[in-house]
Structure formats: C-alpha cells, structure tokens
Amino acid sequence: KPDTHYPAYATSLISIIELYELHKFDRSKLRDTWIDSPHETFLANGLLYVIARDGDTFEKLADEFETSRRKLIKYNDLYKEYTLKQGDIIYLEKKHTK
C-alpha cells in the first residue's frame, strides 16, 4: 500500500537534488577523496572547495585531492608563486562559465 500522506515527497526530493546539484556528490573520485581527506570539503554555487590551513601548499592539496598544482592555481585565478595562507578558500573544480 503506497504512503498517501506524502504523495509529493519524491517530486520534492528530486527538485532539491536538482536545485542544489547534489548529483555532483555521486562522482566516485571525489567521494573517495572526501572520506580519506583530512580537509573538510564545502560546496558553494555547485563548486567544491576547502579552507587552507597553516602549512598547506598547492602541492599538498593537489596530492590530497588527486589533481595538479597547476589546475588548483588556475581554478582559483592565482599566480604560480602564490603562497597559501590559513583561511584561503581554494576551489577544487573549474568555475562555471556564464
């Protein structure tokens, strides 16, 4: 017997998943990284990011998140000599183009 108390539940759930682009969490490479990662990941505007800690480098973050130093610098519009500072927001994905 179907649950008639919440007939729109499935539709609402799908709408929320689409609105917040939660399907992106299904990507296995990043999902595995989140589990093993000492850095907590966050989501803003559909993009994953971390907050740099004291002593972090692009090399360490690139290794931790299985990407390259070059990509992290490019994703964050920084120059290659930039030294990360505690509290810097570092995007792990390419920004969306309009």
Q: What is the pLDDT of residue 22?
A: 73
pLDDT tens sequence across 78-87 = 999 999 999 9
- Of 91, 17, 18, 97, nearest in space to 61 by CA: 91
Phi first, then psi: give them for residue 15, nearest 5 degrees.
-60, -40
Of 29, 42, 22, which is closest to residue 90 (Cα–Cα)? 42
pLDDT band at residue 7, thresholds of 50, 70 and 90? Answer: low
Alpha-carbon span 85 to 87, nearest angstrom: 6
The CATH number of domain 27-91 is 3.10.350: yes
Residue 58 has which token pair? Answer: 């692009």
